[in-house]
Amino acid sequence: MITIRQMRYFDALATTLHFGRAAKLAHVSQPALSAQIQEMESHLGVTLVERSRGNTLLTDKGREILAHVRRILTDVDKLEEAARQPSGQLEGLLRLGIIPTVAPYLVPKAVPHLRSAFPLIELELKEAVTDRLIADLQEGHLDAAIVALPLDHDALTERPLFTDRFFMAIADNDNLVLMSPMTETSVDTDRLLLLEEGHCLRDQALAVCKTAGRRSLVNVGATSMSTLLQMVSHDMGMTLIPEMAIETETARNALRIVPFADPQPSRQIGLAWRRSSRRLAEMNALADALAASAVSLQRAD
């Protein structure tokens, strides 16, 4: 008989297309995951995965079965959710997504806070760009996600957590930026470094600096704030830095942080979950805890 565990392992492998990463996602050893998928293939009498050195692909039959598996897992998650008592206390498994420009700074503050406040919670974190998190929420692979608002998505409920102001980060030996506070029009777009496509912070930087039509931007294809800020510290350009990242990044990079003139640009960080979820009390308790843990990331003016 096929088990729920086997289906979850297969779903993780289909998501990552890599046995090692799938095992990490499923919180199991790679040999155990591989053995369970082989057992699933044996029971079904089909090959689900093409295996070769450094490459993993789903077969045509694997893709067909994956659609059925994901529908079943969604129904299982809904069944477990319906059976859970809405106590407002966070306990058991909570699958939380978080965008990459928030995760490195909020997670170290939030996880200890959540575990202290809710000792029965079992956290499973996933870092991904907004579009991926929205898809995972809709498909039932996540219970909630920390994102930049607004999402304006009919199937999701949003709750603001905190306002994250934007500053400009430049090298500490930079002598080209003398104006402080900066105005949005004073940003040298020829030196503005951006994250790769798909990151909401890239779009926010373009909006702040009013440069959507400019072709002189330095597109470095960076996937993380840390990479961009290391480049900035070596005087390769400047980039927008969220307030929540300042404490961490200035401790490990030679940076000067320049504020913007009022009204300071900012983004709204919030929590999103499925509108159909029965865990409203739990989601509000989660939002309260996340907002409280983020207070220390905001600068005192």
pLDDT for the residue 35: 94
Separation between Cα atoms, residue 97 and residue 148, nearest integer Å: 12
Which residue(s) pair with 267 in the sheet? 164
Same domain, 262 and 217: yes
pLDDT for the residue 67: 92
Same domain, 59 and 183: no
Same domain, 63 and 98: no
Separation between Cα atoms, residue 298 and residue 245, nearest integer Å: 9
Same domain, 212 and 256: yes
Same domain, 275 and 149: yes
Beta-strand relationship, 218-222 and 193-195 = parallel
Separation between Cα atoms, residue 132 and residue 142, nearest integer Å: 11
Same domain, 249 and 208: yes
Same domain, 135 and 176: no
Q: What is the domain count for the chain?
A: 3
CA angle 84, 86, 91 (to 5 degrees): 65
Q: Minimal CA–CA distance to 102: which of 195, 217, 235?
A: 195
pLDDT for the residue 53: 72
Same domain, 115 and 244: no
pLDDT for the residue 182: 73
Q: Are 293 and 113 in contact (CB under 8 A)?
A: yes
Beta-strand relationship, 92-98 and 156-171 = unpaired
Average pLDDT, 10 consecutive residues per value, the chain (301 residues)? 92 88 85 94 93 83 93 82 64 90 92 90 90 89 93 90 92 70 70 71 68 50 79 87 92 90 90 86 92 84 58
Domain span at 100 = 92-162+267-297
Query: Token digits for 269?
Result: 């960080």
CATH code of the domain covering residue 110: 3.40.190.10
> Distance of CA 189 to CAs 38, 169, 210, 257, Å?
53, 13, 9, 17
Same domain, 170 and 262: yes
Same domain, 102 and 20: no
Same domain, 141 and 15: no
Same domain, 188 and 59: no
